[in-house]
A and B are shown apart, each in its own frame.
Chain A
Amino acid sequence: MAITRFENVDVNDLTFSTNEYGENETVITKKFTGRPLISDVKNSLAITDRYRIYQDLIQMKFNYTPWMKDVVDNQNLYSITWRDKDWRITDCLESNDRMSVTLMCYRNDPATAV
């Protein structure tokens, strides 16, 4: 069942680079602490041959501010830290009256062995 409450989250900047071995590296830097309305917390777990796949999707409704507008415009450059987990933004919904921004955030954790 969906629950709704305001919770503190960190909105992070993401910077991407490639190290000397050719691996992609992502650096997460905190931009600010926000307090969105968090709802529709939905956790799902799929067990494949080798891994537990957590596919968690939540909604975060922020007040519309210049920084949040930038998140909407460049959603790939931001991540959210909520409950000490890193969440990536799959969808941004800007309300028509420009008063709020709803982010659909997704956590995929494929690295846990069965």
Chain B
Amino acid sequence: MTDTLGQVPFGGGTRNPFNYDKFEQINRALTTGWLTLDEITNQLNLFGDESQDAYLESLELAVRMHIEDYLGMPIFPVSYRSYYGVSSLYASPVSLDLPQVSYKDSYNSGGVVINSVKYYNNADPVTITTLTSSDYFYDPTGNKIILPGGMPQAINMNMTSPLVIEFTVNPNFLQAYPVIKQAALLLLTHLYNNRSETTSGRLDNIPYGVDALLRPYKPLVM
């Protein structure tokens, strides 16, 4: 029996169980601080020494981005653009999987904001057309965009991925957890103390370090 797990209906053999062709990060907070300078200078025993604040802030940004990437959890909003091929569009209603999972929590943070749903039309030359927001809705139970009216009539059938969704994933409330901040401070201390990629001696991880603190919050992706 052929293993069809991971195949998109009407699509070719792929290990991607979702029906987007590709996605890309299109916007991310690159300058907003997360850990405060007070938290950082206390951790590093610098206290009132402010002479390195700019360096510490740049280090903090790298640490924050690493934690976001490690957990797959935005601490500040991250925007994506995902592409869908016509093979995803034959079903009715059309449902389009979003690649990033987020949920509204009881603190009313988190969740996904759909910025636009667009498609390349079959005019000559091809232009990109934006669907009105009444043509689609976000299904939080399946983390999908549903087009109840089906595929747009004038969609370009010759292009690889003519349907494009832009969306923003909001910060998750986990980012306020003290344990996650502590992991960030540990990582920041490591980067502060080790400015070079190479060492003459062997470095060992401490027990209950960054990985141990963050692991329970890393979602299992099946």
- A residues lining the B interface (CB < 8 Å): 6, 8, 11, 32-37, 62-63, 65-68, 99
**Interface size for chain B: under 10, 10 to 19, 20 to 34, or 35 or more residues?**
10 to 19
Q: Is B37 an interface residue (CB 8 A)?
A: no
The reply to whether B48 and A34 contact each other, CB–CB distance below 8 Å, is yes
12 contacts between A and B (CB under 8 A): A32-B49, A33-B47, A33-B48, A34-B45, A34-B46, A34-B48, A35-B46, A35-B47, A65-B46, A65-B52, A99-B193, A99-B195
In the assembly, what is the distance between CA of A8 and CA of B193, in Å? 20
CB distance from B189 to the nearest CB of A (A): 11
The residues of A that contact B47 with a CB separation of less than 8 Å are: 8, 32-35
Closest to A30 in B: B48
The reply to whether A36 and B45 contact each other, CB–CB distance below 8 Å, is yes
Closest to B56 in A: A65
How many residue pairs, one in A and one in B, have C-beta atoms under 8 Å apart? 38
In the assembly, what is the distance between CA of A11 and CA of B48, in Å? 10
Binary per-residue interface labels of chain B (192-205) against chain A in the complex, 1 for a CB within 8 Å, 0 otherwise: 01010000000000
In the assembly, what is the distance between CA of A44 and CA of B70, in Å? 54
The reply to whether A63 and B51 contact each other, CB–CB distance below 8 Å, is no
- Can you add 11 more A-B contacts, CB < 8 Å, to A11-B49, A63-B45, A65-B52? A8-B47, A32-B47, A32-B48, A32-B50, A35-B46, A35-B47, A62-B49, A63-B44, A65-B51, A66-B51, A67-B51
The reply to whether A34 and B49 contact each other, CB–CB distance below 8 Å, is yes
The residues of B that contact A37 with a CB separation of less than 8 Å are: 45
The residues of A that contact B195 with a CB separation of less than 8 Å are: 99
CB distance from A60 to the nearest CB of B (A): 11
For the residues of B in contact with A, the DSSP-based class is loop
In the assembly, what is the distance between CA of A34 and CA of B50, in Å? 10
In the assembly, what is the distance between CA of A37 and CA of B47, in Å? 13
The reply to whether B46 and A6 contact each other, CB–CB distance below 8 Å, is no
CB distance from A64 to the nearest CB of B (A): 9
The residues of A that contact B45 with a CB separation of less than 8 Å are: 6, 34-37, 63
The residues of B that contact A65 with a CB separation of less than 8 Å are: 46, 49, 51-52
The residues of B that contact A34 with a CB separation of less than 8 Å are: 45-49
CB distance from B200 to the nearest CB of A (A): 10
The residues of B that contact A35 with a CB separation of less than 8 Å are: 45-47
The residues of B that contact A68 with a CB separation of less than 8 Å are: 49, 51
Query: Which one of A6, A35, A37 has the greatest number of beta carbons of chain B within 10 Å?
Result: A35
CB distance from B216 to the nearest CB of A (A): 30
In the assembly, what is the distance between CA of A61 and CA of B46, in Å? 11
Closest to A68 in B: B49
CB distance from A8 to the nearest CB of B (A): 6
CB distance from B16 to the nearest CB of A (A): 46
In the assembly, what is the distance between CA of A34 and CA of B46, in Å? 6
